[in-house]
Amino acid sequence: MKKILSLSLFSLCATIALAEQVSTTGPDGRLRLQCSVEGGRAAYSITYDGKQMVTDSPLGFTADAGNFQDGLQYVKADSGVSQSGTYSLTRIKANQVSYAYNRLVVTVKNAKGHNYDIEFRVGNNDVALRYNLPAWGNFPNGQKMSIRILEERTSFTLPRQATSFLTPQSNAMIGWKGTKPSYEEEYNYDAPLSKPSAYGKGYTFPALFRVGNDGWVLLSETDVDSRYCASRLSEVQDASRFQITFPMPGENNGNGTSEPAMSLPNTTPWRTITVGKTLKPIVETTVMWDHVEPRYEPTQNYRFGKSTWSWIVWQDNSINYNDLKEFIDLAHTMGYPYSLIDCAWDVNLGKEKMEQLVRYGKSRGVDLFLWYSSSGWWNDITQSPINIMSNGIKRKQAMRWLQQIGVKGIKVDFFGGDKQETMRLYEDILSDANDHGLMVIFHGCTLPRGWERMYPNFVGAEAVLASENVFFTQAAADNEARATATHPFIRNTVASMDWGGSFLNRTINKGNDPTRNGSKRRTTDVHELAQAVLFQSPVQNFAITPENLNPVEQNGAPRITLDFMRDVPTTWKQTRFVEGYPGEYIALERVSEDNVLYLAATNAGREAKTLKLTPTGIQKGQKVLVYSDNKKTQEPELHEVVYKGKPIQVSLATGGGAVLVVR
Ligand code: CA
């Protein structure tokens, strides 16, 4: 027996059917979600313009409280009302976000009669789904007030012809000093779904798929806080299905459980599916923030902006008073409000000297971020300070001191994985830091999942094979243009990303000295400028160096690049995808809060690429600053052109870029 009911009929129909299919669409009707309860199992599927984008995908879970994935019966469905509204988002993509979605809640019950809701929110290009669990009565003797989820069946089944752009989960406790997993792995590009992952441990969010010529699908999750673990995707199952998978037992040095536990009633995190005919909805999505709420009020009006960072090129040896002072002076000269002080400052300077450095910074209008290790017992990191952020008592003592001396933020590095135990640590650090007026950057960490809105002092996170690798290996330097053309579509579209880039050194060493060892940058200068627009974190720790201020003949950077790096904003009013393909090229437009439009493009292809670009809303006669590659060198060129009604043609060198600026 199979009945297909439209939602409008629901109120009229009895709830005795054994098999049900219910569906809803996004507000514009193009994205359709269908949920079925059949043969004791719940599943969903998604179409866009009638094309199958996610096929029959199982739902449900098992818990200490019973089996909630088999023997399910349909109870009822509630289409609710459409929801829409706006909210402000101060640190990624846009400053005001409008959202609209239709809600579908399907209630099922298991063989023991315990019910739960499968909640879907369907926008024009995004589906968010989660489970809402009640506190069941008489279970078995009194009310059930807590639950431990043992496994989720929640899956994402792609059409078989889909190809993937995925990054693998690593094994636990491997890599440098046992600091993995840390979301610092390579991507596959257009890989068949059948391809096994590098470690055999599945994939981390976000995950991008191309469904032939029908469109694109981006999977991620949001609303993850101390009540749950961060999840990942399994290896491919049944040829094209990826299943929600909990952290590996070995993460966090074996401490803490893989399975999350929650009080009841409660909800699981949102899993998100962004769907588009083109990549535009993928690059512009705000689904990560549309369905989460701030967890606390900010204690300050946190101020974002640019920062210098001595460690990224000058490395460990730069953590001394004089070098750090040089980077504070660099920040001052560039008009940057911040400088980031990396590891071992506690040993190399000590507290008293640090207080002096903070005072020096303030005299130059530059505030500091200080580095801490998160560990602890979950890796073999010796870079200090260690054993402070892992302990609530010591953490709050340290934060009191930081607040007293006027430090504005911390960078906490080397976390232990994705278990609920570690999610609790992230949240505790953020919440304690807010109590002490501190912003927080995470490195060596998980993907932030909605945190730009959930935690008002959260700034950004690494969770990417970041710019430090360009320093470490020539292979990463050779691959940099590809990375620039990858992350706006995947990693950086779901969360702010502390890449730490825009190198103006062409040899990545102290002094920008071509005669000494150091990775050779393969990108043009304009590529690095475009990267400052394409990659976003509200506090950008740029890789510029004091030697960039030298005259060009003394290995300094061209004046054009320095002026650009002085002006470029770190927060934006609007973000618009223009064109591109993951790993090949990208053109993206952002508008600053004072209405300056930046249209940035980069090329990772082996050939030069010509783009015809029209800044949104431009009028005939308006002036456009065009930053473009010199045909023969890494040098930038800057021209002012008057818009005459035709697209502006730019040629991007291999590893090159272009930026159009309209004031
Ligand atoms: Ca790192």
* pLDDT of 215 above 80: yes
Res 18: pLDDT: 57
How far is ligand 1, taken at its centre, from the CA of residue 180, in Å?
A: 10
What is the per-residue pLDDT across 253-311, written as a single tens digit (0 to 9) for each? 999 999 999 999 999 999 999 999 999 999 999 999 999 999 999 999 999 999 999 99
Q: What is the pLDDT of residue 6?
A: 42
DSSP result, 281-303: HHHH--HHHHT---SS--SS---
Per-residue pLDDT tens for 594-621? 999 999 999 999 999 999 999 999 999 9
Q: Residue 388 C-alpha to ligand 1 middle, in angstroms?
A: 19
How many whole angstroms separate alpha carbon 448 and alpha carbon 205? 10
CA of 491 to the centre of ligand 1 (A): 15
* Centre of ligand 1 from the C-alpha of residue 174, in Å: 14
d(CA 46, CA 558): 51
What is the model's pLDDT at position 115? 97
CA of 444 to the centre of ligand 1 (A): 5
Find the 468 Cα to ligand 1 centroid distance in Å: 7
Instruction: Note the pLDDT of residue 616.
Output: 98
CA of 54 to the centre of ligand 1 (A): 34
The whole-number average pLDDT for the span 135-151 is 93
3-class DSSP string for 566-621: HHCCCCEEEEEEEEEECCCEEEEEEEECCCCEEEEEEECCCCCEEEEECCCCCCCC
| Cα of 267 from ligand 1 centre, angstroms | 32
Provide the 8-state DSSP code for 160: T
Binning pLDDT at 50, 70 and 90, where does residue 140 land? confident
Does residue 225 have a pLDDT over 60? Answer: yes
CA separation for the pair 268, 289 (Å, rounded): 16
Query: Cα dist. 500→213, 267, 538 in Å?
Result: 35, 35, 12
What is residue 652's predicted lDDT score, i.e. its pLDDT? 98
Q: What are phi and psi of 152, to 5 degrees?
A: -105, 140
Q: Using alpha carbons only, give the angle 160, 215, 27 rounded to the nearest 5 degrees.
A: 120
pLDDT at 138: 85
Task: Using the mean position of ligand 1's atoms as its centre, give its distance from the Cα of residue 235 in Å.
Answer: 25
Nearest CA among 219, 29, 241, 194 for reference residue 124? 29
What would the mean pLDDT of 227-238 be, rounded to a whole number? 98
10 Å Cβ neighbour count for 384?
Answer: 16
Question: Is the pLDDT confidence value at 355 over 50?
Answer: yes
Residue 647 has pLDDT above 60, yes or no: yes
Per-residue pLDDT at 2 exceeds 90: no
pLDDT for the residue 5: 41
Phi, psi of 226 (to 5 degrees): -70, -10
Q: How far is the CA of 445 from the centre of ligand 1 (A)?
A: 8
Phi-psi region for residue 291, left (φ > 0), alpha (ψ -120 to 50) or beta?
alpha
- Please tell me the pTM assigned to this model: 0.96
Confidence of residue 107 (pLDDT cuts 50, 70, 90): very high
Whether 233 shows a pLDDT value over 70: the answer reads: yes
Question: Among 282, 275, 208, which residue's Cα sits nearest to residue 52?
Answer: 275
Is residue 8 over pLDDT 50? no
Percent of the chain with pLDDT over 70: 97
**Rounded to whole angstroms, what are the CA distances from 301 to 90, 519, 569?**
11, 40, 18
Q: What pLDDT score was predicted for residue 311?
A: 98
The rounded Å distance from CA 608 to ligand 1 centre is 31
Whole-number Å distance, alpha carbon 181 to ligand 1 midpoint, is 11
Is residue 16 over pLDDT 50?
no
35-91: per-residue pLDDT in tens?
Answer: 999 999 999 999 999 999 999 999 999 999 999 999 999 999 998 779 999 999 989
The answer to whether residue 456 scores a pLDDT higher than 80 is yes
Q: How far is the CA of 568 from the centre of ligand 1 (A)?
A: 25
Residues 236-265 have a mean pLDDT of 98
Rg, C-alpha atoms of the chain? 25
The CA-CA-CA angle for residues 115, 121, 122, to 5°, reads 135
C-alpha 464 – ligand 1 centre gap (Å)? 8
Q: Give the whole-number percent of the chain exceeding pLDDT 90.
A: 96
Q: How far is CA 530 from the centre of its chain?
A: 19
Is the pLDDT at 580 greater than 80? The verdict is yes
The answer, yes or no, to whether residue 4 has pLDDT greater than 60, is: no
Q: How much distance in Å is there from the Cα of 312 to the middle of ligand 1?
A: 11
Is pLDDT at 3 greater than 50 in this prediction?
no
- Nearest-angstrom CA–CA distance, 602 and 639: 18
Distance 466 CA to ligand 1 centre (A): 7
Q: Could you tell me the distance, in angstroms and rounded to a whole number, from the CA of residue 381 to the centre of ligand 1?
A: 13
Look at residue 139 in the predicted model and tell me its pLDDT.
Answer: 84
Tell how far the Cα of 443 is from the centroid of ligand 1, in angstroms.
6
pLDDT averaged over the chain? 96
Strands 539-542 and 305-309: parallel
Q: Convert the pLDDT of each residue in 61-73 to its tens digit.
A: 999 999 999 999 9
Distance from Cα 460 to the centre of ligand 1, integer Å:
13
**Rounded Cα gap, residues 659 and 636, in angstroms:** 10
